Amino acid sequence: SRRLISKLHEGMDVAYVTDAGTPGISDPGYVLVSQAVEHGINVVPVPGVSAVIAALSVSGLPIDHFIFYGFFPSKASSRKNFLISVAEETKTLVLYESPKRLMATLSDMESVLGERRIVVVRELTKVFEEILRGTVSSVVRALRDKAVKGEITIIIEGNTQRPTSYSDSDIRARLDQLRNDADLSRRDIIEKLAHDMGISRKRVYRIVINHEG
């Protein structure tokens, strides 16, 4: 990859293809893409089988393991609950979003995921193709005053700093977020918190009861 990066800095155009199909999906091509991005080199995809694969191939994030979830939930509370449920996932996440909900979704991502690295791509392989890479907050700033249109794919870096334990205050914070979803009963909330945070139902139940008291 160092040799190719050197050639790119010399002004050469480089096309990366593999016998296995789209680069980066079944080979370590994302390492080359990541290094190119770090050196400020523009990386663009060729048309692929779907927006998901095309976006992943130029994201610069690890894509040896990824999960595609389809569209983000349209309801604000459901969207936040979804983000909470995947916050500890270590695999790269890929989702679609509509232009009209993009900023609201990014705002929710910022509050739940913090300064996670993301890539927002739109209109891939088309005239108005755009690829934005950075932390959630930096992408929000880049898009704040823009009228975003077209097909949007969001790629989210997996959690690289998975906590080994949670304090009671961490659990109460998640509890408050889940309580905004009227569709979840107390039992549902306890089960979800225990599963998502990897803690015992007994501990969650104690915190829920104390919180209600």
Which pLDDT belongs to residue 88?
82
Over residues 2-15, the pLDDT tens digits come to 788 888 888 888 88
pLDDT band at residue 83 using 50, 70 and 90 as cut-offs = very high
Q: Confirm if 79 and 177 have CB atoms less than 8 A apart.
A: no
Give the residue, 170 or 161, on which the prediction is more confident: 170
pLDDT score of 170 more than 70: yes
Q: Which residue has the tokens 């096309």?
A: 15
pLDDT band at residue 213 using 50, 70 and 90 as cut-offs = low
Architecture of 2-156 per CATH? Answer: 2-Layer Sandwich (3.30)
Which pLDDT belongs to residue 66?
94
Token output for 202: 């007994």
pLDDT band at residue 157 using 50, 70 and 90 as cut-offs = very high
- How far is 180 from 186, CA to CA, in rounded Å? 12
pLDDT score of 67 more than 80: yes
Q: What count of residues does the chain have? A: 213
pLDDT score of 47 more than 80: no
CB atoms inside a 10 Å sphere around CB 100: 10
Domain range summary for the chain, segments of one domain joined by +: 2-156, 168-212
Closest to 153 in 3D by CA, of 65, 45, 80: 45
Which residues, in sequence order, are CB contacts of 183 under 8 Å at separation 6+? none
Closest to 82 in 3D by CA, of 101, 65, 63: 101
Over residues 111-155, the pLDDT tens digits come to 888 889 999 999 887 888 899 999 999 999 999 888 888 889 999
